[in-house]
Amino acid sequence: MLREREPAESPKLFHRLMAEGFALMRERSIPYGLLALACALSAAAAVLRKIDLLAVFASGNPLVVLRTPPINVILIAALIAIFFVLPSALRRIQPSFKMTASRAIITLVTLLGIGVATEVGYAVAIIPGIVIGVLMSQALIGALLRTDERASAREAAATVWGSFRGSYRLTHDHFITTLGILAISLTILGIPFTTGLIALLVFATVDVRSLLLSAPALFGLFIYCECIRYVLIVRWYRRLEAAHVVRAASPVMPAVSPGTATIRRVA
């Protein structure tokens, strides 16, 4: 039995992934540089105030450290940077793509919808939350690629709703592999960023002035990992679309009526 050949338009998922992430990061070096500068300035404020971040982290409520400079500024800068990383990655599919105000709103609404649906699933049990998260994982990319730059509110709403159905169509036959890609993408971001954050806290305890370098460095690490992550996600989206096109173009076998399905030759 011959193995089916992969569609030509399906990209290699991990080929030169790190190099492609660096290229994506370099495309928006000025905005990222300005955001890194904001992180450095917030670190200077922490140095002047002599904030012991590790002591705050170990105070009994580790989340309190997220509200202290420069950690809070790093997180805000990371949120802003998503609106630069995402369009750069999507231009690998659609070279003319631009992140307009309407598409920015669609991004927020779609992420909110995915978040609410996933949280409802988690409230029922962990597994339904994971299932919903995987099935809806391609909704954001689908919504952005299918939305016109000057779409009206009604058109944008229809596109967002259609993107959830489109994500289900793309992923329900590739659930396990999509789950694996999402797990890898979260690992690409989570492990380096968490390690960098711990290193920042430790170095700040040894010498608080280290924040002047470690804060913008941690932000830069986040951007690089996020670029790699979105390159992988976009490549997987293209592969899912290619598989969906092939499946839709495949001839459907005619249905066999129940009356003829059990006919046997007796003699």
SS (H, E, C) 137-194: CCHHHHHHHCCCCCCCHHHHHHHHHHHHHHHHHHHHHHHHHHHHHHHHHHHHHHHHHH
pLDDT in tens, 96-139: 999 888 888 888 888 888 888 888 877 777 788 889 999 999 99
Report the share of the chain in percent with pLDDT over 70: 89
pLDDT in tens, 207-218: 999 999 999 999
Do residues 89 and 227 touch, judged by C-beta distance below 8 A? yes
CA 37 – CA 70 distance, rounded (Å): 11
pLDDT in tens, 250-262: 665 554 444 444 4
pTM, whole model, 2 decimals?
Answer: 0.83
Tokens of 257: 């009526």
Domain extent listing, the chain: 17-242
pLDDT in tens, 163-192: 999 999 999 999 999 999 999 999 999 999
Which residues have a Cβ under 8 Å from the Cβ of 107 and sit 6 or more positions away?
83, 86, 99, 140, 143, 144
Angle made by CA atoms 235, 225, 59, in degrees to the nearest 5: 140
Which amino acid belongs to residue 56? V
CA 144 – CA 100 distance, rounded (Å): 10
Do residues 42 and 80 touch, judged by C-beta distance below 8 A? no
CA 36 – CA 43 distance, rounded (Å): 11
**Helix, strand, or coil (residue 3):** coil
